[in-house]
Structure 1
Amino acid sequence: MIEIYYIEDDRNIAAVVRDYLEQKGFGVSVYATIASAKEAFQKRVPGLVLVDWNMPDGQGDAFCRFIRSHWNDLPLIFLTVRDDSRDVISGFQNGADDYVVKPFELDVLYSRICALLRRAGNVSEQYLSCDLISLDQSRMMVFCEGEEISLSQMEYQLLLLLLKNKGKTVTRDRLLQSVWDMNGSFVNDNTLTVTMKRLREKLKSPSCLKTVRSFGYRMEESECIKEKN
Structure 2
Amino acid sequence: MDYMTLKEASKIWGVTPRWINYYCSAGRIPGAEKKGTVWLIPKNATKPLDGRRNLPGNQEENIMIEVYYAEDDETIGKSVKEYLEQQNCKVAVFDRITDIKKALIGHFPTIVLLDWNMPDGQGSELCLWIRERWKTLPIVYLTIRGDSHDIVTGFQNGADDYVVKPFDLAVLYSRILALLRRTKTVTDTKLFCDDLMLDKEKTAVYDGQKEIVVSQPEYRILLILMGNKGKTITRNQLLEQVWVRSGNYVNDNTLTVTMKRLREKLNHPACLKTIRSFGYRMEDTR
- Tell me which interval the TM-score lies in, with the shorter structure as reference length: 0.5 to 0.7
Verify the 8 A CA contact 2:84 2:91 in the aligned structure 1.
Answer: no
Aligned match of 2:237 in 151, 165, 174?
Answer: 174
Distance (Å, rounded) in 2 between the aligned partners of 1:196 and 1:177? 15
Distance (Å, rounded) in 2 between the aligned partners of 1:21 and 1:217? 31
User: What is the one-letter code of the residue matched to 1:103?
Assistant: K
Flag structure 2 segments of 5+ consecutive residues without an equivalent: 1-53, 56-64
Verify the 8 A CA contact 1:169 1:216 in the aligned structure 2.
Answer: yes
Aligned to 2:195: 132
1:199 is aligned to 2:262: yes
Verify the 8 A CA contact 2:196 2:208 in the aligned structure 1.
Answer: yes
* Structure 1 residue 158, shift from structure 2 partner: 0.4
1:55 is aligned to 2:118: yes
* Structure 1 residue 10, shift from structure 2 partner: 1.9
TM-score for the superposition, normalised by structure 1: 0.68
* Structure 1 residue 142, shift from structure 2 partner: 1.9
Distance (Å, rounded) in 2 between the aligned partners of 1:219 and 1:77? 30
Q: RMSD between aligned alpha carbons? A: 4.1
* Structure 1 residue 39, shift from structure 2 partner: 5.0
Flag structure 1 segments of 5+ consecutive residues without an equivalent: none
User: What is the one-letter code of the residue matched to 1:62?
Assistant: L
* Structure 1 residue 128, shift from structure 2 partner: 3.0
Alignment: residue pair count: 218
Verify the 8 A CA contact 1:211 1:217 in the aligned structure 2.
Answer: yes
1:103 is aligned to 2:165: yes
1:190 is aligned to 2:253: yes
TM-score for the superposition, normalised by structure 2: 0.57
Higher RCO structure, 1 or 2 (CA under 8 Å, sep 6+): 1
Verify the 8 A CA contact 1:45 1:127 in the aligned structure 2.
Answer: no
Tell me the secondary structure at the aligned position of residue 49 of structure 1. Answer: strand
Aligned to 1:162: 225
* Structure 1 residue 131, shift from structure 2 partner: 2.7
CA gap of 1:205–1:121, structure 2 versus 1, over 3 A, is: closer
